[in-house]
Structure 1
C-alpha cells in the first residue's frame, strides 16, 4: 500500500469553501441578518464560470461581486452557485464554481479569507504558447556543470 503525504493546504481550502457554501445556503434561505454583506472574488477564466460576454470582457481575470441587497435567484449547488446581480441597471446571471473563489469578505464581522484557487483548467493563450515553446527546447540541468566537492 502506497503511503500518502497530507496536503493540508488543499484540505483547509476545501473546508473553507464548504463554510462559504453553507453561508450562501443560509443566505438563500433568508436565515442571515441583513447587516451582513458578502464580497466574493473569483477567477473569471476558471472552468465552469458563466458570465455575460460584457462582464467577461470587463473582468478578464478576476471579478468581485457583492451579495447584499440587490441580488436574485441565489441558487446553491454542490460545486457552484448562481445568482442574478445588477450591473449598470441591467440584471445579469452568473454561475461561479466554488473552486474559482479567491477571496471572501464579510465586513459586518470583519471576516476575510484569501483562498488558493488551483483550477487546473485556467489557461491563457500565453500559457499555451510558453508550453509549446518549452516542449520544443532541450532542457539542460545546471547540476551537470557544477563542481563536485569530494
Structure 2
C-alpha cells in the first residue's frame, strides 16, 4: 500500500463524477438556457463505441458538441451514450468517462481538462478543444474564452 495520497487520481475521479452528474441532469431535464458542451475524447480508448467511418476520420481524438440536436442520452456509472447528427446522419456513440480529455461549457466559461502523465509539457497549457465535429462548427469556433482547469497547476 502506498504511503502517498494520489491527489491527481482523486481529482480525476471527482471531476468525472461532476460530468456524470451534469449529464444525468441533462438526460432528465434537457439542456437549460444557453448551456452546451464540447466534449473531447480519445477515440482509441477501450470501451469507446462509434461508427467505423468516424473512427477512421478521427483516429486519435474527437470533439463532439451537445447543443441543438441530440437524442438517446443515457448515462451510466462508466460513461454515457448519445446519438448525434453528423452531416444529416444520426450516429450513436458511447464514451467512457475515462476516455474524456476535456469537458467545456462555454456558455458559463467552465471547463475541465484531464491531464495524462505521458503528455508533453507543451500540451499541458489549458486550452479549449480545436472545435466540434458536427453542424455547429462555426458557432462553436467563436467560443474560445472558457477557463479550463488543469490539474498540473495543483501539483508540486
- Matched with 1:125 is none
User: Hey, what's the Cα distance between the residues in 2 that align with 1:17 and 1:3?
Assistant: 23
Give the gaps of 5 or more residues in structure 1.
119-150
- Matched with 1:53 is 52
Q: Which consecutive aligned stretches of 4+ in structure 1 deviate over 3 angstroms post-superposition?
A: none
In the TM superposition, residue 116 of structure 1 has moved relative to its aligned partner by: 2.5
- Matched with 2:87 is 88
In the TM superposition, residue 5 of structure 1 has moved relative to its aligned partner by: 1.1
Show the 5 A alignment for 1:53-132: 53-116=52-115
The structure with the largest alpha-carbon Rg is 1
Equivalenced residue count is: 117
Compared CA separation, residues 18 and 95, structure 1 to 2 (3 A): same
- Matched with 2:25 is 26
Pairwise CA RMSD: 1.4
User: Hey, what's the Cα distance between the residues in 2 that align with 1:111 and 1:76?
Assistant: 21
Give the gaps of 5 or more residues in structure 2.
118-156
- Matched with 1:146 is none
